[in-house]
Amino acid sequence: MQLLNSTLLQSVKQIALEAGEHLKRFYQHSVEIKIKADHTPVTEADLFISQFITEKLRQLTPNVPILSEENCNIPLEERLSWQEYWIIDPLDGTQQFIDRTDQFSVVIGLVQHNRPVLGVIHAPILAKTYFTMAGNGAFLQENDEIRPLVGHQGLLCSNCLKIAMGASAQSKVLNSVNSSYQAEILQYGSSSLKAGLIAEGKVDCYARFGDTGEWDTAVAEVLLAEVGGKIFDLNFEPLTYNQRPTFVNPHFVMVADKQLNWEKIFQFNS
């Protein structure tokens, strides 16, 4: 089992930064795009970065399995024996990359005993890097300046709810919000970057009523836990990691303040 320490975290951060430099080069010209079996796009950048990060992690921790969105055809029977593994999304926000919004990221996380414990989210064009380790806080490096991210308890002092979302299912989400709250939507890029906005206190939550993979939420789990937030599904239960045949997450909400009565704010089943 990898010892969680700042040296390991810095090594992972460096890999993410190097991957980001490669992504910048791909971003400067048009890339080949294919459509995967789940009808989502994949580019040559996704595949190159996946291979690059995989090789770097193998050098760093030769005995730790690696699960990448672009290399995830591993049966549950084999995965169940994993005490720990790396989970990577080489290009979180592929559609954002294709659409040239700048709002995409490289995501690398470590899972131990089925719980994410360490991770990095790096947005190369935005020059933002979130990094976190269980029990050791969450940090944002922006334009070479590093600052700790703090909790945002009591953020909802009024009945205004700031929700980060993608382009789809907005009306469905809004219909789930208790009518006593005034919802304001911020449309933003990749899942991990929306988690970053929550950790920074720029929004109260992120609601996702669409398919995502475990690699989309793993690092966000640690990041938000370290600032007093959490992620739950539409039954207000936590997400699971490496415990199901599929990697597809249930629909979920990420929140900045886990102490709030979210079952009152979101009324999914009413």
Chain segment 171-200, per-residue pLDDT in tens: 888 899 999 899 999 999 899 999 999 999
Asked whether residue 91 is marked as a ligand-binding residue, the answer is yes
Asked whether residue 40 is marked as a ligand-binding residue, the answer is no
Under a CB-based contact definition with an 8 Å cutoff, are residues 155 and 201 in contact? yes
Q: Tally Cβ neighbours within 10 Å of residue 142.
A: 14
Under a CB-based contact definition with an 8 Å cutoff, are residues 223 and 130 in contact? yes
Least confident of 71-80, 130-139, 168-177: 168-177
Asked whether residue 221 is marked as a ligand-binding residue, the answer is no
The average confidence (pLDDT) of the chain is 93
Asked whether residue 94 is marked as a ligand-binding residue, the answer is yes
Asked whether residue 135 is marked as a ligand-binding residue, the answer is no
- The band of 31, judged by pLDDT with boundaries at 50, 70 and 90, is confident
Q: What is the CA radius of gyration of the chain?
A: 18
Asked whether residue 89 is marked as a ligand-binding residue, the answer is yes
The dihedral through the CA atoms of 139, 111, 41, 31 has a sign that is positive
**pLDDT > 90? residue 268:** no
Q: Tally Cβ neighbours within 10 Å of residue 176.
A: 19
Asked whether residue 93 is marked as a ligand-binding residue, the answer is yes
Q: What integer pLDDT is reported at residue 76 of this predicted model?
A: 95
Domains and CATH numbers, the chain: 6-149 (3.30.540.10), 160-264 (3.40.190.80)
